[in-house]
Amino acid sequence: MKYDVIVVGAGVAGLEAALVLASKGFKVAVIESKPVEKIGDKTCGDAIGVHHFEKISLEIPGNVIDYKYQGVKIYSPSEKHGLIVPGEGVSVNRVRFGQWLLKEGLNKGVELYDSHVLADVIVKNDKVEEVKVKKVDGPIIELKAEAFIDASGARPALRSKLPETWPISDRPFMTDFNIAYREVIKSEKPVTGEDSKYALIYLNAEIAPGGYWWLFPKFEDGFILNVGLGVVWNGVYNPRHNYEKYLKPRFKGELIHAGGGIVPTRRPIPTLVWRNVGVVGDAAYTVNPVHGGGIGSSLEAAYIVSTYIGNALEAGRIDEEKTWEANIKYMESYGAKQAGLDVLRMYLQRLSNDDFEWILKNRIVDGSSVYDLGVKGELGEKILHTVSAMIKLLGKPSLLNQLRIVRNYMNRLMSLHSAEYPKSPGELPKWNSLVENVVEEYTRIIGFERGQKVKW
């Protein structure tokens, strides 16, 4: 079988990419290891800011939304201090969302190979020529295409099989990920009052070292809750163990769904396109490094990469020269912010409960600064001013100095991922080693151990 584009993975990223390309009239196949009825069933906190849908003009039907939030409320470790970050958000019904995106794609002619696993990738003449896919309990089949998109999630199935000389095969560090576990429960006790209006995030380095734990109400009655936690993936912490120890006794009720997974919490992959391959979603590390939300940015990356792959196919030539603009657009739209937040993320992962308590108790940050930080990725002057004022009153001179370092490196990495991002693929190796040197220097200064590289 020969297609214009083969997409591996029918998560939000793969389904969006397939929909964009099929809508332009390309012959698209999607390969997915799950059976069709399980498409969309993803272990997730399900929370997303509505601006993500607006940004790519995706009009989702009402029945895909389980619940609406007025913003996020962040609690200190003692849970005595809370900070409200306003901003409209929703709890998505992941199965309905996935099934809806799938149906949209199928209506446009997408061909689905469900219950099929990507088994091998054949590279010939410096491009991917075909993939071998295997149906569960079935034979191996060979599928050819002009272009391929890896949308197979945090353990990328396609790009991990590409030549290591291709920068799109980038291998991350384990600490570039959070490992998470969550349960959806019908709780014995509902969430009521002000808390029921927000997605609740709890900073606690004992319960969720290198991450946070969350309580996201899912239905109006306040009884259905999405509760979970993420920890830095360093081979030491186990989120399921911590859930059983700290959260299970607190949230008693009927279990509806349980599961775990890894989440990339770093800057984006150096390039989302190479030869005739594109990479989108978790496979391209498009998640927000600080809050771990990746549904919106997966959709955005999928929209951008598939648009430029479509343009290259129309122009009759597909390689990184022809699709490079996808990188520029993604970095502009989300990637540069991610790079800044990656710097902040490593700093936050080193803070103690005493630090979190001090920051929230003394209102070092306010809701609008945190919102700006999330939207623009900048550690603003306002935060530094508040910190310096507080330091005069309470002491903690090291904090101001640390925050200045963090801010400088945030700005440096953001600049490298925006104005200084390579204008053409030939400049990528030099740029990449510059980025690596900056990250190496920063982690050395703040004493962050990056650990081992991931073995896929």
Ligand X SMILES: Cc1cc2nc3c(=O)[nH]c(=O)nc-3n(C[C@H](O)[C@H](O)[C@H](O)COP(=O)(O)OP(=O)(O)OC[C@H]3O[C@@H](n4cnc5c(N)ncnc54)[C@H](O)[C@@H]3O)c2cc1C
Cα 253 from Cα 269, distance rounded (Å): 40
CB of 201 to ligand X, least distance (A): 10
Residue whose CB is less far from ligand X, 76 or 226: 226
The owner of tokens 């594109």 is 278
Burial readout 182-194 (b: 16 or more C-beta within 10 A, e: otherwise): bbbbebeebbeee
Q: Is 63 helix (H, G, I), strand (E, B) or coil?
A: helix
Amino acid present at 129: E
Tokens of 75: 């609690």
Cα 138 from Cα 419, distance rounded (Å): 49
CB of 395 to ligand X, least distance (A): 37
CB of 169 to ligand X, least distance (A): 15
CB of 111 to ligand X, least distance (A): 14
CB of 361 to ligand X, least distance (A): 27
Residue whose CB is less far from ligand X, 8 or 390: 8
Handedness of CA 98, 101, 104, 107 (dihedral sign): negative
CB-count exposure of residue 362 (10 Å: 0-12, 13-18, 19+): middle
Residue whose CB is less far from ligand X, 297 or 386: 297
CB of 10 to ligand X, least distance (A): 5
Amino acid present at 81: H
Residue whose CB is less far from ligand X, 38 or 382: 38
Residue whose CB is less far from ligand X, 172 or 380: 172
Burial readout 139-151 (b: 16 or more C-beta within 10 A, e: otherwise): eeeebebbbbbbb
CB 456 within 8 A of CB 162: no
For residue 210, give the DSSP letter: T
Residue whose CB is less far from ligand X, 32 or 342: 32
CB-count exposure of residue 448 (10 Å: 0-12, 13-18, 19+): middle
CB of 167 to ligand X, least distance (A): 19
Cα 451 from Cα 61, distance rounded (Å): 43
Residue whose CB is less far from ligand X, 178 or 187: 178
Cα 20 from Cα 25, distance rounded (Å): 9
Residue 155: partners with Cβ closer than 8 Å, 6 or more residues away: 262, 456
Residue whose CB is less far from ligand X, 135 or 350: 135
SS (H, E, C) 159-200: HHHCCCCCHHHCCCEHHHEEEEEEEEEEECCCCCHHHHHEEE
Q: Which secondary-structure segment (H or E) carries 129? A: strand 127-135
Residue whose CB is less far from ligand X, 283 or 364: 283
CB 153 within 8 A of CB 192: no
CB of 236 to ligand X, least distance (A): 19
Residue whose CB is less far from ligand X, 9 or 270: 9
CB of 27 to ligand X, least distance (A): 19
Residue whose CB is less far from ligand X, 182 or 322: 182
- The footprint of ligand X (CB under 6 A) covers 8-14, 31-34, 42-48, 117-118, 151-153, 157, 180, 182, 228, 261, 263, 281-283, 287, 292-296, 298
Cα 371 from Cα 361, distance rounded (Å): 18
Nearest in space to 264 (alpha carbons), one of 364, 160, 151, 179? 179
